[in-house]
Amino acid sequence: MIDKDKIVEFARGLVVAEDERRPIDPITERAELSIEDAYKIQLEVVEMKKSRGEKVIGKKIGLTSKRMQQALGVYQPDYGHITDKMIIGEGYPISLSELIQPKIEVEIVFILKEDLTGPGATAAEVLRCSIGLLPAFEVIDSRIKDWKIKIQDTIADNASIGRVILGSPLSNVYGIDLRSLGVVVRKNGEVIETATGAAVLGNPVESVAWLVNKLSEHDVHLKAGEIVLSGSLIAPIEIKEGDVIGAEFGCGLGTITTYVRK
C-alpha cells in the first residue's frame, strides 16, 4: 500500500494534467498500486475537485464489456464520480480544446429517486429506486499518455471520465427489457456500431447493482437525484473535429446526437 503523501501527490498530478491538458506517464510505472490504492487516489482527486466548487452528481461504471476487460486483463468493472462540470447540454458540442485524447461511448443512464446502499443490493432494488432512464454519451478521456493504462491507472484517473451528454426523453424503467434493447450508432451519417443492452454485464440493471455493492466497500452510496452511467454498449469511438455522432435506441428510449468542435 502507498502512503497518504503519495496518494495526494498522484491525485494532484492527475488534476493538474486535466487542467493543463498535458498527459502524464502511467502511475503504475512509478509505483506499485493495488486496486484499493487506485480508488484512494480517485477519491482524493474527487475531493480536490469538490474543494474548488465542483459538485458530485452521480457515478459512472466502466469496463462492463468482456472485450474491454480482456484488453486490460481484468475480470470486473470499475467506477468513477461524475461532477456537474462534466455535463454538456444536449445540442451543445464536444470541445476538443477542453480535453486531451477523447473518445465517445454510448450509455443508458439511470436517474435515482431514492438512495441506494449496499452491500446486498439487487437489480429489483435498482429498478424500485430509479425514476427513469435516459440515453447518453460518455466522452472518455485519459490523463495518462497515449491511453497506456492498466486498470489501476484508469481507476485512479476517475475511471477515465471526461464529459457526459444526456439525451431525452425520460423513459419509465418498467416495461423495457434492457437486455434486448437495441442501439444503432452513426458517425457522420454512416452506421458504425450496433449493440444491445446485454453488452453491459448481461443487463444494465445488474451493472448498477454491482456499483451499489462495490461502493459500499468504500463507505459510499448512491443518493436520490444522482445519475448513473451504467456502462458502454459499444467499444469507444475515435472522434475528431467536425464529426457528428448519433445513437438511436429501441423500446422508445429515444435518440441522442452530438458534434465535435475544436
161-166 and 78-83 beta bridge pairing: unpaired
* Structural element, H or E, at residue 162: strand 161-166
How does pLDDT run across 167-222, given as a tens digit for each residue? 989 999 998 999 999 999 999 999 999 999 999 999 999 999 999 999 999 888 99
CA distance 41 to 222: 20
CA distance 172 to 121: 20
| Residues contacting 4, CB < 8 A, separation 6+ | none
* Structural element, H or E, at residue 159: none
How does pLDDT run across 208-236, given as a tens digit for each residue? 999 999 999 988 899 999 999 999 999 99
Q: 161 is written with which cell numbers?
A: 471520465
What is the sign, positive or negative, of the torsion defined by CA atoms of 243, 239, 22, 232? positive
Contact of 226 with 146, CB cutoff 8 Å: no
What is 4-261's CATH number?
3.90.850.10
- 3 state SS of 190: strand
In the beta sheet, which residues pair with residue 190? Answer: 187
In one-letter notation, the amino acid at residue 231 is G
Per-position pLDDT tens, the chain of length 262: 899 999 999 999 999 999 999 999 999 999 999 999 999 999 999 999 999 999 999 999 999 987 777 767 777 899 999 999 999 998 899 999 999 999 999 999 999 999 999 999 999 999 999 999 999 999 999 999 999 999 999 999 999 999 999 998 999 999 899 999 999 999 999 999 999 999 999 999 999 999 999 999 988 899 999 999 999 999 999 999 999 999 999 999 999 999 999 9
User: Domain limits of the chain?
Assistant: 4-261
Provide the CA 78 distance to its chain's centre, in angstroms. Answer: 9
